[in-house]
């Protein structure tokens, strides 16, 4: 669906935009395991202001193709986010349930600011509205894999965005 070249080009643009928007500040990336890890690493390399990174595990899909609606926190952050400029990094926003659940929870820890960044967004699938500051690509409602996105835990390592066909 999106070539390796196009994905990397877009991530470089996003990194430049973030560096400009947060100029003079430090940014604290929170990558949501596991899907966002590949994107978060590539994005971090394209940000030219000081970057710190932490990880949180919030899973709602498990191994099925559909969201269960149950958001499970398996691993919390290692560091406090008090007074930090926080950017939550996701690989995809689908129903919006994961970030809708996570955002108020993180805001209650009083960061200096908190914004959301996602490589992909599927607007047709949105069930709850979440304000997203940075979106890499809007994609149609197909089961996308690669660049961190899995189907039953596989295909995360593809360096491009592809579509998993129904068997
Ligand atoms: C996927 C994706 C997002 C979330 C988006 O994660 O990486 O975190 O679902 O869906 P939503 O907007 O409907 O909440 P998943 O739960 O599959 O875990 P994973 O990142 O480990 O694959
Ligand atoms: Mn995820
Ligand atoms: Mg998944």
Active-site option among 6, 94, 141, 150? 94
Report CA(41)–ligand 1 centroid distance (Å).
Answer: 17
CATH classification at residue 142: 3.40.50.2020
Please state the atom number of ligand 1 nearest to the C-alpha of residue 95.
13
- Does any ligand 1 atom lie closer than 6 A to the CB of residue 91? yes
Q: pTM for the full model?
A: 0.94
ipTM over 0.95: yes
Reduced to 3 states (helix: H, G, I; strand: E, B; else coil), residue 11 is: helix
pLDDT tens, the chain, 167 aa long:
999 999 999 999 999 999 999 999 999 999 999 999 999 999 999 999 999 999 999 866 555 555 556 677 889 999 999 999 999 999 999 999 999 989 999 999 999 999 999 999 999 999 999 999 999 999 999 999 999 999 999 999 999 999 998 77
Please state the atom number of ligand 1 nearest to the C-alpha of residue 101.
14
Spatial separation of the C-alpha atoms in residues 122 and 93, rounded to whole Å: 6
- Does any ligand 1 atom lie closer than 6 A to the CB of residue 37? no
Domain span including residue 114: 4-163
Question: What is the number of domains present in the chain?
Answer: 1
Cβ-count burial of 78 within 10 angstroms (0-12 exposed, 13-18 middle, 19+ buried)? exposed
């Amino acid at each position: 669906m999106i070539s390796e070249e196009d994905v990397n080009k877009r991530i470089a643009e996003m990194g430049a935009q973030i560096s400009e928007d947060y100029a003079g500040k430090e940014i604290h990336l929170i990558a949501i395991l596991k899907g966002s890890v590949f994107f978060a690493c590539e994005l971090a390399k394209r940000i030219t202001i000081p970057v710190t990174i932490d990880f949180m595990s919030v899973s709602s899909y498990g191994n099925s193709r559909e969201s269960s609606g149950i958001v499970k926190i398996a691993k919390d952050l290692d560091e406090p986010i008090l007074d930090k400029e926080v950017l939550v990094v996701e690989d995809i926003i689908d129903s919006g349930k994961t970030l809708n659940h996570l955002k108020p929870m993180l805001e209650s820890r009083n960061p200096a600011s908190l914004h959301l960044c996602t490589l992909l967004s599927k607007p047709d699938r949105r069930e709850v509205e979440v304000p997203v500051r940075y979106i890499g690509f809007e994609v149609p409602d197909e089961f996308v894999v690669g660049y961190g996105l899995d189907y039953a835990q596989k295909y995360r390592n593809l360096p491009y965005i592809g579509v998993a066909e129904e068997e």
